[in-house]
Structure 1
Amino acid sequence: MDFTPSNTIITIVAFGLLYLALNKWAFGPLFGIMEKRRQLILDQMNTAESSRKQAEASMAEQKAELEQARKEAYAILEQARTTSTKQADEIVQSAKNEANRLKDDALKDIESEKNKAISALRSEVGGISVKIASKIIEKQVDEKSQEQLVGQYLKEVGSK
């Protein structure tokens, strides 16, 4: 192989023209498309990152709201327990008060009936005493007859 300077110069000039033609019609548009693609990928990555941050913020907000809802539900349950306990205590106290009132009424009724019975017994004993006295006066009896009359009237009172 011989070195020919004219072939080398022609080759260098052809390579230079080919490079300029490729740079203008092939590399320029290809590099432009690649730059647009790079910019699109960067934009998508930024959008994905901001979407991820928004999703994390949303998730944190939802967790906070869920925790708040749990606290409110717990507070409502505690209030319901307190209210039901209070109502149960009120019902028990009301029942006790009613039982005491009924007991007092019954005791008053018993006392009233007792007083009526004593009053009736007194009037009956008074009547019997008058009868005994009148019988004793009618019959002037001795002690033995008087005991028999008193025993007879006590039997009458006991049978009534």
Structure 2
Amino acid sequence: MTRPPSARLVALLIGFSAIACAGPMFAQTTIAMSGLQTDPAAPIEVTSDTLSVSQSDQRAVFSSNVIITQGDLRISAETAEVSYDGASGQITELQLEGGVTLTTPTEAAESETAQYIIGTSHLTMMGNVLLTQGAMVVAGDTMLTDLRAGTAQMNGNVRSSFATGQ
């Protein structure tokens, strides 16, 4: 005699099927990140072990133990290529590579590479992005952050974990 599947087993199978089929719907997540707000006019300080400057290309490459700060925002990486305006000397863009880590008093994120466009306050982290915000952890392929608005959007293979308070 064959026993029919229990209601609990059927519910679990339906739930897992719904999650598996809904995968693409969860490929993007928008996150409020008030701790990542920064003033784009705040001074940027860059330190490293080595600096190479090309005046003709208006680029500087900081390498080894790179640390960038702007207000409460701190970014570290192995290398940072800095583009700047030749006339004013103002930094316009940062290209970061190698163990990029971003920290604020309330958030931390890491990725393989990142691009920070100073004028628009847009920071894009790419490659195995992991964001920690209190007890919440979100991972994905890329994270697009608007540092002026304090918002971020995680894209591609998004996974998250939330504390339940229990």
Scaled by the length of structure 2, the TM-score of the pair is 0.23
Q: Which has the higher strand share?
A: 2
Q: Which has the higher helix share?
A: 1
Structure with the greater alpha carbon radius of gyration: 1
- Ranked by relative contact order (alpha carbons within 8 Å, sequence separation 6 or more), the top structure is 2
